[in-house]
Amino acid sequence: MIRISAVIITLNEEKNIGRCLESLRGVADEIVVVDSLSRDRTREICQSYHAVFIEQPFLGYVDQKNLGVARASHNYILALDADEYLSPELIESIGQAKQNPGWQGCSMNRLNAFSGKNIFVGGAYPDKKIRLWDREFGQWAGQGVHESVELQPGVKVIHLNGDLYHNSFRSIAETIDKLQSYSDIFAQYNRYKIESSFSKIVLKTAFSFFRTMLMKGGLTQGYEGLIMSFFSVQWTYYKYAKLFEANQRLDITLIVVGKDPDGPETAQDFQAREVLYTNPDGVETAARSASHEYIVVAHAKEVRNPHLLTRHQQLAWYGRCVFNNAPRDAHDVVSFLRRFESGSLGFWRQDLIEAQPAEPIGKKVLLEMTKLRNMNSGLGQFCHHLGNEFARHNRKLDLLFYVPTAFLNAFGARWRYKANKSYHRLLMNRPDVDVWHCLQQGSPYWPTNPSTKVVLTVHDLNFMVKYTGWRRDKEIRKLQRNVDRAHAIVTVSNFTKQDLISYIKVDEKKIHVIHNGGPVRSASLQARRPEFMTEGKFLFTIGIVNPKKNFHTILPILQSNPNVKLVIAGDKSHPYSEEILEAARKMGVADRLIMPGAVLESEKLWLYQHCEAFLFPSLSEGFGLPVLEAMSEGKPVFISRLTSLPEVGGPLANYFENFEPQHMNMVFTQGMRYYDASPTLREEMKRWAASFSWEAAARKYLLLYESLC
């Protein structure tokens, strides 16, 4: 049975904390309370429940909660706020989860109350939260009042029965105070990071009213339901109105390098609240001592440039930490926000004050990355890896990332962001940009300005295999419309390019082939043996278990090699998984077939590292990343010669020319003999996998954008 540490943060919570702690009896094996120097009886009450009581001045919601997680004795964390407590049904459900490990996270419904009455309307319920998890696989993340538990991709999350009671709002006066406090925090954390305007305030508030009051029934639960729904609308208004106001203020510290004879006039013209004078060697010292969050470093001979202030105001509005981006006629000018990413005034980036000859801000490029919301998918990973490389290597273009709300600032505070909303398909204030890149071929988001150049990435035409008849014709028409809109088309393989030419009317000159990068693993990722694995040799394959993966054709190889097992990892909700199991039973190999479903990244790494070989007889692939993942671990790969796989496997892979059992067994036997007899083959495969680089892909995309501007 697992052991759980409950972690709670408090500040003057004597009215709530007792009920919270009482609900943890029999559930938590340890209680850790991180208190922000309460002045009431909070400490006394917590110690009466034998809680570990830590006094810590408030660090911010995320850091305060992560401090409690770090001080906990057990890996499994149950996180509560002081005004939350467990329902009897939820207590029982957590007890069952303790008895049945194998999950990495647990979600639960939160039931909010106003003045003691539970609220089920206006979006207040079910307020689904992850509050119980294995800290090896996640932590608190986010900014301001939008903190949440963020788990690693691919972890197993189960949903618990019962409710987490939340009695946050006891009176109208208290609710108003919280709305004011939370909206202040929102504006503070998102200043210069999210744009706000009069029209945005009006539209956001109007939509919140329509959704909360009408779509989610805010008018149907009496006085308390109406009040809670009304406060939800007010919250939307306050946070965007305060953000608009905060974005108008530009508190500047101007650092002048060299002697400026005009002195006070410079400060007045520049509207700087503070001016510091230094020599070139003292720039870092001066920047560290600056009083304000927006800092401009300029040589004395350039500081009176009339265009300088306007330019830097624009940069601050976009939330940019910028160097090497001043007007063309200014030299060695640097500007940046001290609030870089972490939100801490003390945060410092030395590379942001290394002045270089300045260049103008480049053309504006929007990157449509809405698929980031599913980081476990291939498209989510594609957006994630490219975004990181764009942020790292772009020096000329003004990037605007169009992303799900949870990914604002995901690629650093230097860039602009626009949050994706569900209603944007119908109603969206489309940014005016020079290049609009749809990173998925089926994107519903397109620019309205006819002069905007469009780049479309086409990953595959798998629907040609997946569908027939009217369904396939529909997908062809949809892709044709999107291709017709694009000024440049990128395919991730030469095979996809030929597929596109075969089925879609397109000018071949518009098509550019840019291969995806290979596997990217965190340096902190450690291989972890899955619980379902026992001793012995095994073959490995991975992917969503559906007919196009063709996994059943591997079974005869298992039949011919009685000393090995076969692991097929991946989502197995499709009926095809039952077909594979039935075929294995008929062949007498079901006892050596392991189908665990989706696996963790750490478990997947272990499977790649310890398998005898990787088999991938897929019928249709846009790219084929698993092949590179196996080769990066130096494992022999046996793959189909269909679609794009030969481009990925290259000359070092073994190929199934057909799927007849005799032929596949012959290819496997000969390939394993060659692998065992070739001592250098392992390192050659690793080098081949490394040649597929996300950095190279990003640089090619950036050059394409520049060529269209």
Split at pLDDT 50, 70, 90, the class of 431 is confident
Integer Cα distance of 629 and 689 in angstroms = 8
Split at pLDDT 50, 70, 90, the class of 357 is very low
Looking at per-residue pLDDT, the higher value among 682 and 171 belongs to 682
pLDDT digits (tens, 9 = 90+) for 565-574: 999 998 888 8
537-690 fold: Rossmann fold (3.40.50)
Integer Cα distance of 489 and 321 in angstroms = 32
The strand pair at 148-151 and 138-141 is best described as: antiparallel
Superfamily (CATH) of domain 364-513? Glycogen Phosphorylase B; (3.40.50.2000)
Q: What is the pTM of this model?
A: 0.57
**Weakest mean pLDDT among 46-50, 93-97, 308-312, 474-478:** 308-312
Average pLDDT over residues 229-253: 79
Cα distances from 463 to residues 370, 457, 533, 621, in angstroms, run 21, 16, 35, 11
Cα distances from 40 to residues 43, 83, 408, in angstroms, run 8, 15, 38
| DSSP structural state of residue 685 | H
- Every domain range in the chain assigned CATH 3.40.50.2000: 364-513, 537-690
Identity of the residue numbered 386? L
Strand partners, 398: 364
Residue 485, C-beta contacts closer than 8 angstroms, at least 6 positions apart: 446, 454, 456
Residue 129, C-beta contacts closer than 8 angstroms, at least 6 positions apart: 107, 108, 109, 110, 148, 149, 164
pLDDT of 36? 92
Average pLDDT over residues 375-387: 83
Integer Cα distance of 631 and 252 in angstroms = 52
Helix runs in 488-600, H state only: 494-503, 555-560, 576-587
Q: Is the dihedral of CA 111, 117, 119, 120 positive or negative?
A: positive
Neighbour order of strands in the sheet with 637-640: 593-597, 564-569, 537-542, 613-616, 637-640, 654-656
User: Locate tokens 């846009």: which residue?
Assistant: 622
Phi, psi of 259 (to 5 degrees): -90, 130
Helix axes of 601-610 and 625-632: crossing angle, nearest 10 degrees: 60
Q: What architecture is the 4-168 domain classified under in CATH? A: Alpha-Beta Complex (3.90)
Split at pLDDT 50, 70, 90, the class of 145 is low
User: Locate tokens 């090896």: which residue?
Assistant: 136
pLDDT digits (tens, 9 = 90+) for 566-603: 999 988 888 999 999 999 999 999 999 999 988 888 88
Average pLDDT over residues 386-402: 90
CA 257 to chain CA mean position, Å:
40
